[in-house]
Every structure is written in structure tokens, then in C-alpha cells.
Amino acid sequence: MTGLMSHRTVHPRTSSLLATGLATAVALALAGCGEPQSAQQNDPDKPIVIGTSLPLTGDFSQPGTQARRGYEIWVEHVNANGGLLDRQIELKVTDDASNQDTVVADYTRLITQDKVDLLLGTFSSLLNYPASAVAEKNRMLYVEPAGGATRMFERGFHYLIYAQPATAPKQADVMVEWIKSLPADQRPKTAAYPTQDDPFAKPVIDTMRAGLEALGVRTVYSTVYPPDTTNFQTIASAIAARKPDLVAQGAVFEDGVGLIRSLQQLNYSPKILFQTSAPSNANQYSDAVGVANTEGVFYTVSWNEKAKTPLNQEFVAAYAKKYNGETPAEDAADAFAAGQVLQAAVEAVGRIDQKALADWLHANPVQTILGELTWDATGAPQSYFLLAQWQGGQVEIVAPKERATTTTVINPKPGWQ
């Protein structure tokens, strides 16, 4: 079994025969085309293939599935309206299972093996970090619907474009502004900041905390929990024991729901509750926590279904038609917007030239369902977010004034039902 090579005449022969056979089989099986990487020829009969990888399963499956819906609706809309550069477009989606190694392999395959014409980004900063690096290595334009973490834009990438109004740290500004606008006796005195260890959620809460502390709001509790946390009882106990006026949670989805449930169990309802991301999931969110319990929850959002931005009504209608009358989640809207950005660039430049597309986007604004988007040299967007609040089972925009859909603001939040 483990004989030394010089005495066992048989072993090395069979082992290397096996290895030779394997190598030959490999060489034959992997015979593929041998041309160097070149841009696809613009054949008018063939569809333009757009490749993307999304977390359809795993930790980010909720936003990932929404993003897919957004992309698909955009593709259907473009194809129904003459296509892109007079060609139909085809979307190629793979599942990266919320796993970073997989997303790298997926984009590498899409680019080098499937040789897609264009790319669309994935969901979550954690996945977009490595995926955008693959795109940048291959000099392909990378428009991402999510991935606003600060460090995304510190790498000197030229082909990265973030299709949302602002990056993560800027998201909290609008909430801090609103608190600032309150008369001093109505402001919260104390605050708690539980956040998931997520490169997007955490910076939002960090900047909010800094902003509120500057306003004199005392921090009584602050913690960071791992992404796969499902047990929120200890955090909820700690919060309930300290009775803060404001709770601001950096959530993705499941954890946002989990904390609310735990707070319900302990019967503690803060006067102001702010969560990132989770409340933007429309029906999924209200089903999970109960419609009555959504009342008064604040969050910042890049999009609102009532906005009068270009194509927004069509988007909402198409989504409702396709998905049982549901309201789109913010992630679906962001994905649709990413598609719009890509489309605008291609139509403006007139051909699929990755560098030209990237250059054009850096220099020009694009009108999307999120409003007007512009970018700086690093691909970071320069606009601002909206402050939204659940009211009566619906989402209303309460700030800034020019985008508000209502003047009512619920403060304080009612207790749990």
C-alpha cells in the first residue's frame, strides 16, 4: 500500500498511467475555441447577452430574488420597446448562493467562457467587492444595483458605477436632518445602535450615530452582531433594560424582523425605530412583522412607488401584473434602475465599447426611476436618499420636502400590537 517507489515496480507505473490518462482526457474534454478575448461582433441577428450573478439562495436570498425580478422586468420592457441598438437583449443569471468565492467564479465564467456582451452587478457590498474586481480586471463596465460601502470606491476602479442615489455613509444624513428639524423637547434623548456586521449597514448606522451624538443624543447601547445571528433576545433584553427613545438598527432583512419579534416578546417599543434595508421589502416585511407593527418605522430608501420619475409607473404596473399585485421592493427598483443606466449609456454611445460606456457615465447624468443619477470619477453617486415611513400599511416619503408624498409624520411610534 505504501511501498517505497524504488522497490515497488508497479505503483509508479499505474499511478502515472492513471495520471496520464486523466491529463489526456482533460485536454480533450476541455477543447474549446482558441481565439483571444475580443469584443463580440455586433451581429444584428444575435441578441445582446447581459450576464449577472445574484444571491438567489443563502444569506442574501431575499434581496437577491428581488433584484432578479427587477432585472427581468427591465429586460422585458426593453425588448417590448424595440430592444437595445435594435437588438433583443437576453439576461443570463447565475446563483452565487451569497458566497464570495462563487461570485468570483461566476463572473469569471460569464466573462471568459460565456463571453457576455454586458454585465450587471450583484447584490450586497460583500459580493460586489470581489465581483467588481473581476469586471475591472477584464475591463468591463460594471453597473451595480447595490454595494454602497465606502471602500468600494477607494480602489481606483474606472469601470464601476453604483446605480443608487448615494453611498452608504450618506444614507443616514436625511434622518439626522429630520431629527435636527424637530423642536428640542421632541427630540430623542437616548439612542441604541444594534447593527449587523455588514459593510453596507454598519457605515449607515455609524454615521447616524456620529450625527446624532453631535446633536446631543446620548448613546446608551451599541453592538455589532454577526451576519448569521438568529437569536436577538440578548440584544433585545439589553435594549429593553436601557429604554432608549430611539433605536437605529443596521439590518439586512431577517435580522430586522428578528429584532422586532424579540422586542415584542419583551414588550418594549421605542419611540422612534429606524432600520436599514429591511422595511424596504414591502409585503415581505409587513407579513413578517405584522402590518400593525410596521406603523411608524423609519428607513431610508432610494426609491418610492409613488414617485413621478421616468418609467416609474410602468415599472410598478408591470411588477404588480407579474407578481400578484405586489408592490415592488426597493431592491427590485434598484435593479431596474441599474438596467436603465446601462441602457442609457449604450444608447448614447451607440455601440458596445466598454471603455466608452464607462467614460460616458462618468460624464453624464441618467434619468431613472430613482431620479437623476450622476457619478464622480470613482463611480460613487452624488445624489441624496429619501426618508420613508410606514403609515397605515403603506410607505410614505416624509423627507426631503421636495420629494415628500405626505406632510404627516408619525412620532412617537405606537406600541406593539
Partner 1 sequence: MRRRALVAAPLVALAAYPAIRPYDTYQHTVMLLALLLAIQAVSWNIISGYAGYVSLGHSVFLGLGAYTAGILGVHTGLNPFLAAPLGGLVALVLAVAVGVVVLRTRGHAFVIITIALLLATQIMAINWAWLTNGSDGITLSLPPWSRDIANLPFYYFFFVLLLLTLAASAAVRRSKFGTGLVAIREDEDKAAAIGVNTTRFKTAAFGLSAFFIGVAGAGYAYFLTFLNPVGAFSILGSVTIVLAALVGGRGTLWGPVIGAFIVQFASEAATVYGGGSSSRVLLFGVALALVVLFLPAGLLPTVQAWWLRRHPVAVEYTDHAGALGAGPVVVTDRRPPPAAAPRQALLEVRGVSKRFGGLTAVDSADLTVLAGTVTALIGPNGSGKTTLFNLVTGAMRADAGQVWYDGRRIDKLPPWRRGHLGIGRTFQVTRLFRGMTVLENVVAPLPDGRWRTMLAGAVNGHEADRARDLLGLVGLNRFADQPAGSLSYGQQKLVELAQVLMLEPRLILLDEPAGGVNPSLVDKLCGLVRELNAQGVTFLVVEHNIPMVLGLCDPVVVFSRGTAIAQGAPAVIRNDPAVLDAYLGDDWRPPGASSGVSPGAASAGGGAATAVGTC
Partner 2 sequence: MTELVQALALGVLIGGVYALLASGLTLIFGVLHVVNVAHGAFLVLCAMFTWWLWRETGVDPVLASVVTTPLMFGFGLVVYRLLIVRVAGAAPAMSVLLTFGLALTIEGVLNVTAGNKFRSATPGYFSESFRIGGISLPKPQVYGFLAAVAVLGLLYYVLTRTWTGRAIRATAQNPTGAALVGVGATATAGLAFAIGTATTGVGGSIMSVLYPFFPASHYDWISRLLGIIVLGGMGSLPGALVGALVLGLGETLTATYGSLRWSTLVFYVVILAVLLVRKQGLFGTRLREDVAL
> According to the binding rule CB under 8 A, does residue 45 interact with partner 1?
no
Q: Which stretch binds partner 1 (CB under 8 A): 96-104, 170-178, 242-250, 305-313?
A: 96-104
Site string for partner 2, 77-116 (x = CB under 8 A): --------------------xx------------------
Q: How far is CA 413 from CA 17, 159, 235, 294, in A?
A: 74, 43, 20, 9
Which residue, 9 or 324, is less far from partner 1 as judged by CB? 9
Site string for partner 2, 166-205 (x = CB under 8 A): -------------------------------x--------
Answer with the entry of partner 1, partner 2, none that 235 interacts with (C-beta below 5 to 8 A by kind): partner 2
Say which amino acid occupies 110. L
Residues forming a β-bridge with 277? none
List the one residue from 52, 53, 61, 391 that touches partner 2 (CB under 8 A).
61
> According to the binding rule CB under 8 A, does residue 295 interact with partner 2?
no
Considering only residues 300 through 359, tell me which ones interact with partner 1, judged by CB under 8 A.
none
> According to the binding rule CB under 8 A, does residue 92 interact with partner 1?
no
Which region holds residue 365: left if phi is over 0, alpha if psi is between -120 and 50, else beta? beta
Copy the grid coordinates of residue 51.
450576464
Which residue, 49 or 238, is less far from partner 2 as judged by CB? 238
Q: Are strands 386-391 and 298-301 parallel, antiparallel or unpaired?
A: antiparallel
Q: How far is CA 22 from CA 15, 18, 25, 26, 28, in A?
A: 11, 6, 5, 6, 10
Answer with the entry of partner 1, partner 2, none that 237 interacts with (C-beta below 5 to 8 A by kind): partner 2
List the one residue from 121, 145, 188, 199 that touches partner 1 (CB under 8 A).
199
Helix axes 254-265, 233-242, angle to 10 degrees: 60
- Angle (CA) 228-232-235 rounded to 5° is 120
Say which amino acid occupies 118. L
Distance CA 286, CA 190 (A): 27
Site of interaction with partner 2 (CB under 8 A): 57-58, 61-62, 97-98, 197, 223-226, 228-231, 233-235, 237-238, 240-241, 254, 258, 261-262, 264-267, 416
